[in-house]
Amino acid sequence: MTGDRTNSAADLLVPLDRTGAGGPLHRQLEASIRDGIRSGRLAAGSALPPSRALAASLGVSRGVVVTAYEQLTAEGYLTSRSGGYTTVAARAAGGAAVPPPVAPPPARISFGYGRTDVSQFPRAAWLRSVRRVLTTAPSDRFGYTSGQGTPELRAALAAYLNRVRGTDAHPDTVVICAGYAQAANLLVQVLRSDGSTRLAVEDPSADDDVRALAAAAGMSVVGVPVGPDGVDVAALSTVDADALVLTPSHQWPTGGVLPAAARAAVIRWAASRDALVIEDDYDAEYRYDRAAVGAMQGLAPDRVAYVGSASKTLAPGLRLGWMVLPPRLVAPVVEAKVLADRGSPAIDQLTFADFLGCGEFDRHLRRMRPLYRRRRDVLLAALARHLPQLRPAGVAAGQHLVAWLPPHLSEPVVESAALARGLSVLGVGRYRIAPGPPGLLFGYGSLSERAIEEGVTLLAAALADGAG
C-alpha cells in the first residue's frame, strides 16, 4: 500500500462533459475514478483530493464530489480514513477487484445525532392499531393509491398538525412520503423541473441529503450563516435563491429558535423572490425548558412547504413522513411520488392514522419527553463536571446538543483521540459550508444515562491525554 496523495483533478485525469450528453456530473466523476482504480492507475492506498479541493479544481459544486465519493465508498472502491482522508480501497487486478480492507471495530459508545430510542417503540399500542385496520379497513384501501396518501392519514395529520404545530393544513395539501429524505428528493425534482437553479441552506446544517440531491440535479447550493437564534436574516437578504431549507423551530445543530420578526423577514424574502421555504420540523415534539414554537407554515401556507416525519418520535424504520404543500405544488409532487414508488404502504398509513386518532401518539410523546429530558440533564451535568471548558448550546429541546470547543482545540484531533478510546463524537465542521468555530455534537436520544456518563468521562480522558 502506498501513501501517495493525489493532489488535483489533473492527477485523476477526470474528463467532464458539461453539455449534458455524458449524464450527471457526479456519475461521470464516479465512472472516471472507478476506471482509474480498475486499470491500476490509482493504486490501492493512494489518497484522493479533499472534496472541496477537487470541486474547486473541476469547477463543480462540492455536492457533486461528495455524492461520487459516497457512491464509490458504498461500492468498496474507496474508504474514509481518520483525519477525513478518502483513499483507494480496491483496484482491478486481472479482472477481479481487491476486497476492501477490514473495517475497524465500531465505537463502543456513540454520541451520534438523530438516533431516537427505538427500544421504546410502543409495540402493543401499534399492534392494536394494526388489528383494527386489518379488521375494518375497506378493501379498496389495499389497491394502488393516488400517490398522495390514504385519505384517513392525510385527515388525521392535518388535524394533528393544526392542533399541535399551528399549521394551516388541509387534507388536500398533505402528501405522504418515506421520511424527510424522500420529501427532499421529490421537492428538488419538482423545483428543478420548474426551472429553479439555486438552493439556499443554513450553514451549518444537516442537509447532506438535500445538498447532494440538488447538486446531482444541477442546482447550485449556497450556505446562509446561522446566528444564536437561527438563520441570519441580514445575510439571507442578500441571497438570490429559488428555495431555502430552514429549521426555524430548533435550528440544527445549534438549537436556535427563529423569533417572530426574523420569521416575518424570511417570508418577505421568499415573497420578493417568488421562492419556496422548505420547513424541516424535525424534532418539534420534544421541548423541555420552554413552550413549543409553532410552525412557520401557518404564517404563509402558499410560501412554505412543511416537512415532518415519524423518525424522531416513533422509529426511522417506519419510513413515514409527510409534507404540507402550497396548493400549486401538490399535483407535481404527487406525480413525482407515483413515478418513484407508486405510493407509500397503505397498511402502515392506515395504522398510523388509527394510532393518531386514538390518542396513542400523544400518549407516547408524553411518556418519552421526561425520559429524554433526564438523559439531557445527565449529559449537561457530566459535561459541567468533567469538561467545563466546553460550552453547551441548544439544550432546551430535541435529542442532541452542541458543545462549543475552545478555539485552540481541533475537531478532527478530538474525534480521533475519542475514537481511540472507543467513543464516537463528531465535530460541527463536517456540516459546514464555510469555516466556523469548532464544536462537537452530542446525541443522547438512544443512550442510557450510564452510557452518557461513561462517554463524557472517556472524552475528558482523551483531552487530558493530549488532544486538548
* CA atoms of 283 and 290, how far apart (whole Å): 14
* pLDDT over 90, % of the chain: 67
Q: Which of 322, 352, 357, 345 is nearest to 141 (CA)?
A: 345
Write down the pLDDT at residue 94. 37
* CA atoms of 132 and 358, how far apart (whole Å): 11
Write down the pLDDT at residue 27. 86
What are the CA-CA distances from residue 220 to residues 124, 188, 434 (Å)? 46, 12, 15
Cis upstream peptide for 253 (omega within 30°)? yes
Determine the angle formed by the axes of helices 449-462 and 360-386, rounding to 10 degrees. Answer: 30
Collapsed DSSP state (helix, strand, coil) of residue 64: helix
| Largest pairwise CA distance in the chain | 65
Is residue 69 within 8 Å of residue 84, measured between CB atoms?
no
Q: pLDDT tens-digit profile of 80-112?
A: 766 667 888 855 433 445 556 666 678 899 999
Q: For the whole model, what pTM was predicted?
A: 0.77
Domain 121-362: give its CATH code: 3.40.640.10
Q: Count each helix (H run) and each strand (E run) in the chain, helices first.
A: 15, 18
pLDDT surpassing 60 at residue 10: no
pLDDT surpassing 80 at residue 426: yes
Q: pLDDT tens-digit profile of 136-157?
A: 999 999 988 889 999 999 999 9
The mean pLDDT value for 359-368 works out to 97
pLDDT class of 3 with cuts at 50, 70, 90: very low
What mean pLDDT is reported for the chain?
90
Q: Which three cell numbers stand for residue 194?
A: 420548474
Helix (H) or strand (E) holding 304: strand 304-309
Write down the pLDDT at residue 92. 43
More reliable by pLDDT, 398 or 380: 380
pLDDT surpassing 90 at residue 415: yes
* CA atoms of 85 and 283, how far apart (whole Å): 32
Write down the pLDDT at residue 84. 65
Write down the pLDDT at residue 83. 61
pLDDT surpassing 80 at residue 207: no
The mean pLDDT value for 232-251 works out to 95
* CA atoms of 130 and 468, how far apart (whole Å): 52
Cis upstream peptide for 106 (omega within 30°)? no
pLDDT surpassing 80 at residue 20: no
Collapsed DSSP state (helix, strand, coil) of residue 362: helix
More reliable by pLDDT, 267 or 34: 267
Residue 460: CB partners within 8 Å, gap ≥ 6? 386, 387
pLDDT surpassing 70 at residue 452: yes
> 8-28: string of b/e by CB count within 10 Å (b at 16+)?
ebebbebeeeeeeeeebbbeb
Is residue 114 within 8 Å of residue 312, measured between CB atoms?
yes
Q: Which of 207, 164, 167, 160 is nearest to 184 (CA)?
A: 207
Domain boundaries, the chain: 9-97, 109-118+366-467, 121-362
Q: Among all chains, which residue has been given the C-alpha cell 429559488?
A: 242
More reliable by pLDDT, 290 or 190: 190
pLDDT surpassing 90 at residue 115: no
- The fold adopted by the segment(s) 9-97 is Arc Repressor Mutant, subunit A (1.10.10)
Of 52-56, 317-321, 338-342, 367-371, least confident by mean pLDDT is 52-56
Helix (H) or strand (E) holding 154: helix 151-164
- Cα dihedral angle (250, 350, 164, 225), rounded to 10 degrees? 20
* pLDDT over 70, % of the chain: 92
pLDDT class of 74 with cuts at 50, 70, 90: confident
Q: Which three cell numbers stand for residue 132?
A: 383494527
CATH of 109-118+366-467, one of 3.10.180.10, 3.40.50.300, 3.20.20.70, 3.90.1150.10: 3.90.1150.10
* CA atoms of 59 and 218, how far apart (whole Å): 13
The mean pLDDT value for 18-47 works out to 81
